[in-house]
Structures are given as C-alpha cells and as structure tokens.
Amino acid sequence: MDKLLELYQTMGVSGQVYAYGEKALEKLADRFAKIDQVAEYNQAKVLSAMQRNRVDATCFMATTGYGYNDNGRDTLERVYADVFHTEAALVRPQITCGTHALTVALSANLLPGDELLSPVGAPYDTLQEVIGIRPSPCSLAEYGVSYRQVDLLSDGTFDYENIRKAINEKTKLITIQRSKGYATRPTFSVTQIGELIAFCKSVKPDVTIMVDNCYGEFVETIEPSDVGADMIVGSLIKNPGGGLAPIGGYIAGTQKCVDRCAYRLSAPGLGQEVGANLGLMTSLFQGFFLAPTVTASAEKGAIFAANLYEPLGFRCVPNAAESRHDIIQAIELGSEKAMIAFCKGIQAAAPVDSYVDPIPGDMPGYDSQVIMAAGAFVQGSSIELSCDGPIRPPYAVYFQGGLTWYHAKLGILLSLQKMVDAGIVTL
C-alpha cells in the first residue's frame, strides 16, 4: 500500500487526505458486500435473459438505412423486456438522451385535453420545458396537454391526501421521477414507488403510470416495472449502458404504451420496424451485460463520498448511513467557491481532459448556470465519473458514476484535496 500512496501522491492526493479516506473505508466493508450481492443477482438476471433470448454473433451485425429485419436490435429489445419483466421494450440509438426518451414516452401517450400529473413535486429541469412549465416551442402545453403537480411533504414523503384530490377525469398519465434530479429530496425506493402506484391506481385504475428510472437501474434487485409501472424510461449513457453504450435510451412497459412510443419515435405505421443499429449492437449488448457491476461500483463511490463529507459538516442526501436507491450523491457545499473546488477535483481524476478546469456556464434546458465536471469517454455519460450542479442555493453538487470503484474512490479523494487546498475544509 505504500506504493499506492506514493502513486496517489504523484496524482495530487496528500497523505493526510488518503489517510482520512482509508479511515472512512474501514466501516464500509459490510455495506459494500451487500452491494456486491445485489450486483451478483442482477448479473445473473441479465445473463439468463440473454441466454433465453438466444443472443448470438449475428446480433452484432450492423444495419443501415431503414434497418428492416434487424435481428440484433429486435433481440436486444426482447432482452430488455425480459430483464425488466415487461411486455415490450424500445431500445434505440435514435433516442439521444434520457430527456428525449421521456419526451417520446409522454408525447406518445398524452393527447390534447389530457392532463399530466406529477405526485412527487417538480420534475428535473430539462423536463420542465418539455412539459411547458417553462414555456418552450413544441412543449406538451402547446399541444393542449395540461399539467398538475403535488409537492412532497416536508419530510420527503408522498402527500396522499392531495394526490387523491389532484387525480381527476382528465388525468391520463402520472409521472414519477425516481431519482432526485437537482433537488435535495430523497430518492424513492422501488417499494415506495410501488406503494404510490398502487394508491394512484386505486383512485383511477385506468391511469397510465410512467417512472423516470434514470440513475436507478440495477441498484436494487427489482425495478418499478415489477411493482405496477406501465412504463419505465431511462438513458443508455447512464446505468444500463454499462459505460460502453455511446448513445441511446430505452422505454420498457406494456405493449400498448411501447407501440405508441415507437410510432412517435419513428412515424405512425412504421413503429419498431425501422431504425438501423449503425453498428452499435456489440456496445449496447456488452454494456447491458456489464451494467450490474458498473452500477455497483458507482454506488460504492456515492457511499464513500457521503462518508467523507458528512463528518466534515456538509449535508449529504442520502446521508452516510441511509439505504441507496440510485447512484447519485448530493452534497450541499454552501458556496459557489466550494462547488468549483469540488468539481475541479473530479475533473482532475478523469482519464479524459483531466487538465481542464470546470467553470460555471449556461446550459440548454436549465434556468441557472451549471457547473459540470466530466472527463468521459462518452460525452455526458453519467455512469462515468462525473459531477454537476446548478449555481444556486444550497449550492449542492451531484456526484455520480465511476466505471470502477477505484476510479470513483480516487475522484472523491481528489475532490476533497481541492477543498482542502482552497482552504474550505480542514481535516
């Protein structure tokens, strides 16, 4: 270990910060072992689905143009549906990001005069323009879809009384955001999501329920589709892409919902029959195969971060001891200066662009300046080591990712080192 410390020191981690990190790790062995158990189960789940659906070398062949009779694409979608226990799935590189996947799912299953309800408060920043909470061309509001939300209670739990009141004859689709987004509220467990779904269905049995599953896949042994969600939606450059998918998103759910999503993504009458894979099948299959263990590494990094920063007086969501239901660790740093120092440490740990200093800037879809640190092989890949946050109170950073636990560990140590060097933290 002396050689490891020497190497870390050449990379900018002092002996003091390294020792502080090792002390925090001493109490995490049992938690890490439980994460490994979940990863082992999910690995077996993915592997068995690939075997049942007879994945073979022909699945990796490239298709172009219309993409008719694309065996690899169709097999991958059957594998996703098998793993998530849904009737169907749409998994496409033509879906550019998580926001795009959510937009497809919403716009495909909402018609003029329908109402969209969020029973978990305001959605993530980029989705607010999609809905029309912040006016934007081509928003759902422009097409005559109304929106209503019920905020969470002060303790972060569901306001069932007002959710019941909000569900009405126009309520067509209910959207549940699993992860916290740029908020410091708890991420919901699959069990909690199941309870909310059951409640909403008891009020209106025919309502469609969509779960934004971003950052949550494979953190537990079950998914929201196992507890009644009609659709779960996510990005392939987050958990399910395993760090290998260069682009893409997925929608898994009922055949009716997925069919409509496919018509919206391509064109009415075409649906899932078109959409070439462009030679990406190997990366999409292999990334999904690796996803359970990559997600476990990212989750360990998040727990390590909370256990380093909480004893120093920073509020962490989840806190250092809480159970985890996604890979994101929010840390309230209290100032723009601290956010910049933290992000500099994450950037310095990157395999790509490690020499770059992140600074706040304007980003499309956000109403505040945002700072982002990510030296990723895939641009914007949140399953790779990254950190970002809006420059606004409480000046929280949202740390996530790490294709390996060891990379996540180094990133957190360097973030703390930059905080120490800036005089913000004293160990």
* pLDDT single digits (tens) 179-218: 987 787 889 999 999 999 999 999 999 999 999 999 999 9
Measured CA distances, 280 to 34, 72, 191, 241, 249 (Å): 33, 10, 34, 12, 13
Report how far apart, in Å, the C-alpha atoms of 397 and of each of 71, 100, 222, 343, 372 are.
Answer: 42, 24, 28, 8, 9
What pTM was computed for the model? 0.96
In this structure, how many other beta carbons lie within 10 angstroms of the beta carbon of residue 135?
Answer: 10
Strands (E), 240-306: 249-253
Q: Which pLDDT does position 180 carry in this prediction? A: 86
**How far apart are the C-alpha atoms of 344 and 183, rounded to whole Å?**
22
Using alpha carbons, list the distances in angstroms from residue 391 to 162, 177, 249. 32, 22, 28
The mean pLDDT of 112-124, rounded to a whole number, is 96
End-to-end CA distance of the chain: 22
Q: CA-to-CA distance for 296 and 403, rounded, in angstroms? A: 9
Helices first, then strands: H and E counts in the chain? 12, 12
Residue 26 token pair: 């001493």
Instruction: From 355, 351, 370, select the one nearest 411 (Cα to Cα).
Output: 351
The predicted-structure confidence for 123-154, as pLDDT tens digits, reads as follows 988 899 999 999 999 999 999 999 999 999 99
The yes-or-no verdict on residue 1 having pLDDT over 70 is no
Task: Return the structure tokens found at 131.
Answer: 């809905």
* Reported confidence tier of residue 363, pLDDT bands at 50, 70, 90: confident
Instruction: Classify the phi-psi angles of 218: left when phi > 0, otherwise alpha if psi is within -120 to 50, otherwise beta.
Output: left
User: Over the chain, what is the mean pLDDT?
Assistant: 96
CATH numbers and ranges of domains, the chain = 2-42+289-421 (3.90.1150.60), 61-280 (3.40.640.10)
Q: Strands 115-118 and 146-149, how do they pair?
A: parallel
Say yes or no to pLDDT of 345 above 90. Answer: yes
For the cut 90, the answer to whether the pLDDT of residue 2 exceeds it is no
Q: Tell me how crowded residue 133 is: count the other CB atoms within 10 A of its CB.
A: 18
The values of phi and psi at residue 282, to 5°, are -60, -45
